[in-house]
A and B are shown apart, each in its own frame.
Chain A
Amino acid sequence: MRLLLVDDDPVTRDYDSARLWDGSCNLIPIQWLAQLRDHDPATVDGVVLGATVQPALFREAVEKCSRNQLPLVLLGAWNEALLRHARSRHHLVVHYPPDRAKTLTGKLLCETVTQARKGLHRPRARAIIGNPTLRTVVQALLEGAGFKVESHPDLASARRAATSRDAPAVTVAEVFLPDGNGLTVLPTDGYGAASPVILLSQSREPWIVDEAHRRGAHAVVTTPLDPDAFTAFLKGVSPAGWRSQPALR
């Protein structure tokens, strides 16, 4: 597998070069814009970007990947706005935050690129929201955070989808839905759902918060929705880290 590794700063790197060059894939280092521009996209399988690249390199990489449907792997601490920008332009974007980038090996990178080419790189999210505009906002935020979103206007369609598909990585449900209570997407036994559930509610009445807590919801977020606060909640709902630190706020 041939990958372009675009990084113009050889000093401050968020990844371990020795681990990355383990011989599993053919990494071609790129430092200049002209190198990236002139490289034939038909001969590579994907592009890997370090966190400190210049804006021109970033723009060119996103455009090149988008044009040629190549996976784009971003390594290290990337700005949220830039991530959102990349994801809005290209759907095959995978981000490795600094802690995961440090342990990234060449083999893992190859697997990631293969998964992205198959369209399996994004975790699924389910949004069950009655208000169409709020649904659009949540969908845009989830997509910006790297999720593949399936949205439902009511409980009935969400339940139909739940019978035919696996559990999503995260569920966002409105408490007051046209055909029932969003709390019912959580199990009643108090052991929590298989994946994190974020509830959206117009009010923070005690019965809602208590019941959500009892059923094991990850968070109850008040609407009108603050997109920044919601994005912060989304960061804490990676399926691996969720069970260890439930954060009902």
Chain B
Amino acid sequence: MTAVLTAAAAAAWAVAMMALAAFTGVRALGFTAVGLTALPLAWTAAQLGAHRASAAREEQVARERQERARQWLAHAWELGPLPPIDTASRDALADLIEVTTGDAAFTLRDLYVKQGLLQLDIDEVSARERATRLAAIARLARVRHSGALRALLLAARSKDSQTVREALRAMARTVALAHRVSAVDQMVSALYVANLSSAEVEALLPLAGAHAARICERLIIGEDHRYVLAAIRAVGRLRLTDQAWLLSRFLGTAANPRLRAAAFTSVAETGAVHPGLEDHVVAALLGRDEAVAAAAARVAARVPDLVGPPLCQALASAGVAARRRAVAQLDAQGPQGREIASTLLAGQGRPPRSAAPLNLRER
């Protein structure tokens, strides 16, 4: 119906243009007007047709994949024969492994290995064709079998950046389910080989699940310092409280203000303050770097009982400027920070030397 209406409208338009041209006596004008209108319309129609065909193909692929998923389930439950092994079938089984857990997932994973699909994917990870390679890596990311780690590690050395990113993503997801400690070693090696940006590594670490803590530890204490910032941030963001001691130790040696600020922020986010950290907090609060002092003030506001006494002692011997800076930073941390600042000022006996007394409430 729509096609008939469109054709009728186009024909009416062409006739009207030609009639107008005949009326004015310039026939070329009519052909030009019809051509200028018809060309964009034809281009749009071609584009729409291509999109429609693409959508229909995708729908067909999705339908085929769901049908294969049903066949795999029936086979796993001993209700049906083995489905034919094709791309849709491999994708369907990988999808099923991803969405199930327990004995069912174990059976499906076993099928994936025994039918040789895992080996097929491992072989295809090093394929020359990019689409084949990426599809195999995407399947391995869903299957998460530790047997594929070595192949993914090799893919992380690829010259193609997309392959590297997908391989690392697949590795991180695989490591999350791996039982072997060597999987963490492989992940760390792959990260260093891939030479990603710090932000990309930070985005990858949550995918490693329970092993993220170990990877962060290796990245922080390792000799290569490229991903220290990413690891420190991940400790705070993922609330890896078991790794808070590492940050405490790191703050004892680190000199880079950016890293120190990130470490204090992470400590504040985890809320796990280890003995000895209060001295670093006090030193940072009385230091000259504003970003580090602000992050340290967050920690102080989080654990006022631990930081308060040593800070009080340190303030007594500190210069006026340092005292003012520390109080200002604490004051910026909301009610808890203001409370510590008030206590410190009260403990001093006299307000800091300034033209007007410091009004904490109005700041």
Contact = CB atoms under 8 A, between A and B. Distances in A.
Interface of A: 81, 84-85, 88-89, 131-134, 136-137, 140, 144, 223-229
Contacts of B78: 81, 85
Given A81-B78, A140-B73, A133 B66 contact: yes
A132 B66 contact: yes
Given A136-B70, A140-B74, A228-B104, 11 more contacts: A81-B78, A85-B79, A88-B77, A132-B62, A133-B95, A137-B96, A137-B99, A225-B100, A226-B100, A227-B102, A228-B102
A137 B98 contact: no
A59 to B, nearest CB: 13
Nearest to A229: B102
Interface residues of B, number: 22
Contact of B66 (A84, A89, A136, A225): A136
| Interface residues of chain B: helix, strand, loop or mixed (majority) | helix
B207 interface: no
Interface in B66-101: 66, 69-70, 73-74, 77-80, 92, 95-96, 98-101
Contacts of A136: 66, 69-70, 73
Given A88-B79, A133-B92, A136-B66, A224 B73 contact: no
A136 B104 CA distance: 14
Interface in B87-123: 92, 95-96, 98-105
17 contacts: A81-B77, A85-B78, A131-B99, A132-B62, A133-B96, A133-B98, A136-B66, A140-B70, A144-B77, A224-B98, A225-B99, A225-B100, A225-B101, A226-B100, A226-B103, A228-B103, A228-B104
A203 to B, nearest CB: 13
A228 B77 CA distance: 12
Which of B78, B79, B98 has the most chain A CB atoms closer than 10 A to its own CB?
B79
A137 B78 CA distance: 15
Contacts of A229: 102
A227 B74 CA distance: 13
A137 B92 CA distance: 11
A223 B99 contact: yes
| Interface residues of chain A: helix, strand, loop or mixed (majority) | helix
A226 B100 CA distance: 6
Nearest to A85: B79
B102 A226 contact: yes
Contacts of A133: 65-66, 69, 92, 95-96, 98-99
A196 to B, nearest CB: 22
A141 B320 CA distance: 72
Given A132-B66, A137-B73, A84 B99 contact: no
Nearest to B96: A133
Nearest to A80: B77
A195 to B, nearest CB: 25
Contacts of A81: 77-78
Given A81-B77, A88-B80, A133-B92, A227 B100 contact: yes
Nearest to A89: B79
A133 B72 CA distance: 11
A85 B77 CA distance: 8
A168 B327 CA distance: 64
Contacts of B69: 133, 136-137
A201 to B, nearest CB: 13
A88 B65 CA distance: 20
A94 to B, nearest CB: 19
A138 to B, nearest CB: 9
B110 to A, nearest CB: 15
